[in-house]
Structure 1
C-alpha cells in the first residue's frame, strides 16, 4: 500500500445547507482529489487508511442573515471550530475556516460537523474540506 494519502472535497450542490435542528455531518459531494481513498463523499467521513500524522483544513462561506460555522471532529471529539454570523448586506459575504494537525491511528475518523441551527453556503465551491498525511 502506498503511504500517500490526500484529499480535497467541496460542497458544490449550491445554496444553503442547514440549518438543521440537530448536529449533522456535512457531506462534501464533489471529490477533487482522493489519493488513498480515505474520503467517502456518501458519508462525509475521512477514515485513515494508514496511521500517521495528518494535516486538515476547511473553509466555508456564511450565508446572509444566518449563524454559520463548522466543527472539525476526530472520532467523536471536537478538535477546532470556526463560526460567524453574516448579518450584512445582500452582496457582502463572510468566510471562515480553520486547520489542525492530528495524529491518527488506522481507522480513525475525521469529519466536518455542522452544529445545530447553523448553515453554510455551498455555491461556487466556497465550502471545502482537505487533508493529507504528513508523516508516519
Structure 2
C-alpha cells in the first residue's frame, strides 16, 4: 500500500499540482491539497479492501452452507421393497437370503436390489420391519440379521386346516457404516412372493 501511495504522490506532483523540491531536505513535496486527495484515495482503497474481505467471508460461508445441505440430503436413508415372483418362494433345503426384487423406495440407495442386503451408509439408529404372507402347507418363517447376528424373527407353523398365514416384526438397530442387515428364509419354510404381500422396510431414525 505504501508503494502505491508513493507512486500516486509522484504522479500528482508530475502533473504540476504545485509540487516543489526541498533543497535542504533533498525530497519532493506536494501542497496540502494534493496530500489530502491522496489520503482520501488511500482511505477509499482501504474501505474497498475491507468490503472485499467481507464479501469473501460471506462467499466461503455460503459454500459451507451449501455443502452442509448436500451432506444432510445424502444422509436421508429410506427404503421399502417387496418380494417378487409368481407364487411361493421356497421351501429350500438350506437357509436362503431373501432378495426383495420389487423396490418401492430406495432413498440413499443403501438397499441392494440384486442382493437383498441393506448396507448402512452412516452410523446411527435405524428402524426395520418385515412382513410376510404364506400358505399353511409349509411353515412360514423369516429371520432378520445384523451382519451374522440374528436380531428378530416372525413365523407360523404349518397347518392342514389353516390355508393362509401372515406375520411381521420390527426392530430398532444401532449400526455403524458398513454394517449389513438382511432377511433369511430358513430351510423348509416358504413365503408368498406374488401380490406385494412380503416386504422388507427400513429407514434412518437418527444419525450418531
- What's the TM-score bracket when you normalise by the shorter of the two chains? over 0.9
Aligned 1:1-136 pairs, distance under 5 A = 1=71, 2-88=74-160, 92-136=163-207
1:31-88 Cα shifts (integer Å, max 9, x gaps)? 0000000000111100011111000001000223111110010000100011112425
Q: As a proportion of its length, which structure holds more helix?
A: 2
TM-score normalised over the length of structure 2: 0.62
Q: Which runs of 4+ in 1 moved over 4 A?
A: none
Q: As a proportion of its length, which structure holds more strand?
A: 1
Cα RMSD of the aligned pairs, angstroms, is 1.3
Equivalent residue pairs, number? 135
TM-score normalised over the length of structure 1: 0.94
Q: Which has the higher contact order (CA 8 A, sep 6+)?
A: 1
* Structure 2 unmatched runs, 5+: 1-70
* Structure 1 unmatched runs, 5+: none
> C-alpha separation between the residues in 2 aligned to 1:41 and 1:84?
27
